[in-house]
Structures are given as structure tokens and as C-alpha cells.
Amino acid sequence: MKAIVVYESHWGNTAAIARAIAEGIGPEARALSTAEAIGETVAGADLIVAGAPLLGFSLPTESMLKGLASNAGRDPTPPDLSQPSMRSWVDALPAGNARAAAFETRIWWSPGSAAKSILGKLEAAGYHTAAKPRRFVVKGKYGPLREGELAKAKTWGAELAQAMK
């Protein structure tokens, strides 16, 4: 079973969760940024897990990311904006029939869901849902992750691997 865990991450929280999920899935899984998840790596995957932060109550939009870029100089914690958005990555993903799951990182009380949007797009492209959308919580606007979230991500990865058997 080949699995990829693809992430959009501007301050590192979603990337850290993606790595923990991949670790939980097992040695056959790789965590990849949206820039790295291209071509054969994606086409050959039996399981695609995709994650993004919830920004502005939504899966980040291009206009939200442009806003972050124009504000970057004044931002107390400058974002990494070098990777394509998850929205553009999943919209460009070729149709397929692998299994799929989605997650987000976010503040606990916020409305909106990036994971539901990602999963809807994956389903529309033919992928088969392997699990309910999953959220992982940060303590402040830029993180860090709440205690225990990395362990939960690893456990979720192991559950996903089990569901593939």
C-alpha cells in the first residue's frame, strides 16, 4: 500500500501533523508539500491524505494568500508562501479512484472546515472517502499545536492504514 500525506502549511503546524500521520500510516507513507506532490508520486498512491489550515473560516483562497503575502513584512510570524495552495493542488489533481482522507489544523472554536472542502473536491474527482474529515487544534493564531495533537495524528494514520487492509 502506497500512501501520500499532502499538505499546505504556512507556519508549520499542518506540516507537522502531516508528518505524524505519515509516521502512523507506516514506512510506505510519505508526507509531501503541495509542491512536492506531483506526477508519478501522486498517480501511484493507493491512499491520498490531504490537509490544510483553516484560514478566514475556509480552505485558504488565493485572495486570502495574496493578503498574507502583502502583509508579510508586518506579520509578527511571517508565513511561508512558497508552496501552491491546497485548493489549487486538489483542483488540478487528475481524476482517480484511490482512497482519500482530509484533515485541517485550526483554532478549536472556529466555524468553517477546510477538510470538508478538500474531501468534497477529492470525491468530485472520483476518489473514495476512507475516513471522516479530521481536525487538529492549535492554541493560538499561529500555533503551536495543542498538546497531544501529534500523538492523535499518528494514531489516526495507523487507523487509516488499518482501514486499507
Ligand X SMILES: Cc1cc2nc3c(=O)[nH]c(=O)nc-3n(C[C@H](O)[C@H](O)[C@H](O)COP(=O)(O)O)c2cc1C
Closest contact distance (angstroms) between CB of 88 and ligand X is 16
CA atoms within 13 A on the CB side of 65: 20
- Judged by DSSP in three states, 153 sits in helix
Q: Is 57 in the site for ligand X (CB under 6 A)?
A: yes
Question: Residues 107 to 136: which contact ligand X by CB under 6 A?
Answer: 107, 110, 112
Q: Is 50 in the site for ligand X (CB under 6 A)?
A: no
Q: Nearer Cβ to ligand X, position 99 or 106?
A: 106
Closest contact distance (angstroms) between CB of 165 and ligand X is 30
- Single out the residue of 161, 136, 155, 158 nearest to residue 147, CA to CA: 136
Tell me the Cα Rg of the chain. 15
Q: Nearer Cβ to ligand X, position 45 or 54?
A: 54
Pick the piece of the chain touching ligand X (CB under 6 A) from 40-48, 85-93, 105-113, 115-123. Answer: 105-113
- Buried b / exposed e over 55-74, threshold 16 CB at 10 Å, is beeebbeeebbeebeeeeee
Q: Is 53 in the site for ligand X (CB under 6 A)?
A: yes
Instruction: Find how far residue 65's CA is from the centre of its chain.
Output: 16
Return residues touching ligand X (CB under 6 A).
9-15, 53-57, 105-107, 110, 112, 138, 141-143
